[in-house]
A = this chain, B = another copy of it.
Amino acid sequence: MQGLAPSSKLSLTIVVVVLLLGMAGAAHGLTRVVASSPDEPCMNMTLYYHNILYNGNNTANAAAAAATKPTALATTYWKNSTFFGTLIVFNDPVTVGKALPLTGEEPAARAQGFYFYDKRESLTSWFGFSIVFNSTAHKGTLNLVGADLMGDATRDFSVVGGTGDFFMARGVATIRTDAIEGLYYFRQQMDIKLYECYVWL
């Protein structure tokens, strides 16, 4: 899972932290690292999120479903609906490459959470979810929230916390729509960069 390798560019902050720890005589164990610059994340990875929405017929594959109907505002501006108010709950596969996992194969991670459409005039949504890793490579979660301004080429979510291998992480995930197939499947590339990490030093 090469996409998950820690950044090779050592942050300046590591130097500072180590310096301090050296001063205090304790440079061992799991140590907090804070990036001093947006160019130097302490960890980065690229993952693909596959939203496979229930369409009434795909019970074998669907991993997301609408929990509410669109509100009356959804069709006041666009007669084809902007889905304003539709809440989608999901437990979708997350992969290192673009392909969906083969049948019976576990994905690199799963994205568990929700999004809802929140604009009358166009398609935008808001996400809250966890990326749940449970493989030999990684165990733990990253928790994200943010606005998905779907009209923009890229948009950023906040990584607001992490657990397990991602203990106390913070960062930014840059999202890009990678594929759309009709109304019931889309794939998003997520470039996740962590700027606060705990690493073994």
Q: Which residues of B sit under 8 angstroms from A49, Cβ to Cβ?
A: none
**Interface pair A76/B59, CB less than 8 Å apart:** yes
CB distance from A92 to the nearest CB of B (A): 10
> Which residue of the partner chain, among B21, B87, B90, B167, contacts A68 with CB atoms under 8 Å?
B87
Given A34-B32, A130-B147, A84 and B76 contact (CB-CB distance below 8 Å): no
Task: Report yes or no: B38 in contact with A30, Cβ–Cβ below 8 A.
Answer: yes
| A112 contacts B by Cβ under 8 Å | yes
Find chain B residues with CB under 8 A from A89 CB: 71, 84-85, 87, 116-118
The segment out of A1-9, A155-163, A182-190 that lies at the interface is A155-163
Q: Name the residue in A29, A34, A163 with the highest tally of chain B Cβ atoms < 10 Å from its Cβ.
A: A163
Chain A contributes a number of interface residues (CB within 8 A of B) equal to 76
Q: Which residues of chain B come closer than 8 Å to A95, judged between CB atoms? A: none
The residue on B at minimum CB distance from A13 is B32
Copies in the complex: 3
* Cα A195 to Cα B196 with chains together (Å): 13
Complex Cα spacing A19 to B22, Å: 13
A198 touches B38 (CB 8 A): yes
What would be 6 A-B contacts, judged by CB atoms less than 8 Å apart?
A: A38-B168, A67-B68, A67-B87, A91-B118, A126-B128, A146-B163
Q: Using a CB–CB distance below 8 Å, which chain A residues touch chain B?
A: 12-13, 15-16, 19-21, 23-24, 26, 29-32, 34-38, 54, 56, 59, 62-63, 65-68, 71-73, 76, 84-87, 89-91, 112-114, 116-120, 124, 126, 128-130, 132, 140-141, 143, 145-147, 149, 156-164, 167-168, 170-172, 195, 198
